[in-house]
Structure 1
């Protein structure tokens, strides 16, 4: 589920946060499903429990998870989060279009690359 890349320059807790975000946004982790306990996940990953606690705190701050006192951490309803991520990606696309136009990439070339990307994605499904 979570794989730590020790060659990655980012802190381990950020890697844990990013991986959980991916799993939540892709629907692998269902809303209201329980996350592993801090202690269990720390043992599985062979890292300090404080690192997992920090990652969980960050995920909760961002709205990806919620805590229930004495029960643990659970996945939040992610519909809003998915829509926010889609909006963020579409803003990035607009920025890319602007940059592409500035350096002379035509609409046709740009769209062909977008279509190529979607076709490659379809091969994995």
Structure 2
């Protein structure tokens, strides 16, 4: 498992870790039951605080991506990919609704909005 931390990112380090592990699980790179590196080992490998790694693992467990067994470590939980995809689709839908509302307030046309979306999507 490879995790890349960017000090230039506006995203906190624990979120970078969480998002990369989630992406690996959703992409099928990490399978159900696979062990994650220990909190201490990951902190050492990434040269970050154990507290930061612990927070990332707690967030993953809270979101249902992993589970932990005392004395054994953290493992990838069984995933219902359709439910996860549906949640993500709903989140995108909600965000787009907010974008549309803001665009209307600014007087942007649908063509302006589509052009902006196309430009951002292709970056």
Pairwise TM-score range, normalised by the shorter structure? 0.7 to 0.9
Q: Report the equivalent of 2:43.
A: 42
Q: How many residues align?
A: 120
Contact 1:64 1:81 in 2 (8 A): no
Cα distance, 1:116 vs structure 2: 4.5
Distance 1:51 1:94, change over 3 A: same
Give unmatched runs, 5+ long, in structure 1: none
Q: Report the equivalent of 2:89.
A: 86
Distance 2:21 2:64 in 1: 12
Distance 1:98 1:114 in 2: 15
* Alignment pair present for 1:111 and 2:114: yes
TM-score by length of 1: 0.72
TM-score by length of 2: 0.73
Q: Report the equivalent of 2:7.
A: 6
Q: Report the equivalent of 2:33.
A: 32
Distance 1:70 1:82, change over 3 A: farther
Aligned-CA RMSD value: 2.7
Give unmatched runs, 5+ long, in structure 2: none
Higher mean C-alpha deviation, range 68-77 or range 98-107 = 68-77
Cα distance, 1:73 vs structure 2: 1.4
Distance 1:42 1:9 in 2: 20
